[in-house]
Amino acid sequence: MFDFVFAGLGNPLPEFVYTRHNIGHIAIDKLIKHYNIQYTLKKPLFKAGEITLFNKRICFLKTRTFMNESGRSILKFISSYNVSIEKIFIIYDDMDLPCGKIRIRKRGGSGGHRGMKSIIEYVGTNEIPRIRIGIGRPPENINPVDYVLTKFTEEEFNVIEESLKLLPDIVETIVLYGIERAMSKFN
C-alpha cells in the first residue's frame, strides 16, 4: 500500500511532547506541516498522514505507545498495511550524536535505544532503515534515562529546529534516489 513510511518514535502523553526522547514525534509533526497534510489514519497504536510524492505513496507515522513498546506500534502498522520493514524509516533520538546532528543508516543494532530495541525484537530483524537525530550526551550528574525525558533548552531547540528543516529534502532524496544517496548527502 505504501512505498515509503517515515515513523517517528516518542512517548504519547502531553508532558513528553517537547522532550529529547520525542524528537521522532517532533520530526513527523514537522513533515506533516511541511506537506500540508493531516493525520487521517488514527489507530490505537499509531496515527499517520499520507501523501503522494513523485508518484510514490508516502506515510508519515507517529507511534502511540510508550517508547519501550514502539515495536508493538510498528508491527501493528506492518500487519495492517502489508508494508515491508525495509520500507519503514524509523526516526528517533540518539545521545551519541551532538545535538541536531543527523545520521541515516540502512540497518544496525539498537545502540541502547529502547524504542529501537523493541522494534528489532517485535519484527525480528535489525535490517531496519533509520534516521537518528542527535540530542547530545547528558551532563555527568544526570542519569541518561532522566536526561532523555527532559525538555530541550532554548538554544538546543533552535539547533534542532534548524536540523529538522532538512527533513523534507532527506525524505525526497530517499524517495527519488534511495538511501545510499541520502546517506552520502546528509551524513
22: its cell numbers: 520525542
Q: What strand order describes the sheet that includes 56-63?
A: 41-42, 46-53, 56-63, 4-8, 88-94, 130-134, 102-105
Q: What's the pLDDT tens digit per position in 132-146?
A: 999 999 988 889 989
Q: CATH for 4-186?
A: 3.40.50.1470
Q: What's the rounded mean pLDDT across residues 103-118? A: 95
Maximum distance among all alpha carbons in the chain?
50
Q: Where are the domains of the chain?
A: 4-186
* Residue 168, pLDDT score: 98
Catalytic residue among 21, 25, 34, 113: 21
Amino acid at 114: R
* Spatial contact of 75 and 84, defined as CB atoms under 8 Å apart: no
Active site residue 21: yes
Percent of the chain with pLDDT over 90: 95
Q: What is the pTM of this model?
A: 0.96
Residue 41: its H or E element:
strand 41-42
* Residue 61, pLDDT score: 98
* Spatial contact of 70 and 130, defined as CB atoms under 8 Å apart: no
* Residue 145, pLDDT score: 87
171 has pLDDT over 90: yes
175 has pLDDT over 90: yes
* Residue 158, pLDDT score: 96
pLDDT band at 13 (very low <50, low <70, confident <90, very high): very high
Cβ neighbours of residue 8 under 8 Å, at least 6 residues apart? 23, 24, 25, 26, 27, 28, 29, 60, 61, 62, 63, 91, 92
Q: What's the pLDDT tens digit per position in 25-84?
A: 999 999 999 999 999 999 999 999 999 999 999 999 999 999 999 999 999 999 999 999
Helix boundaries (H) for the chain:
23-34, 70-81, 114-123, 144-147, 154-164, 167-177, 179-186
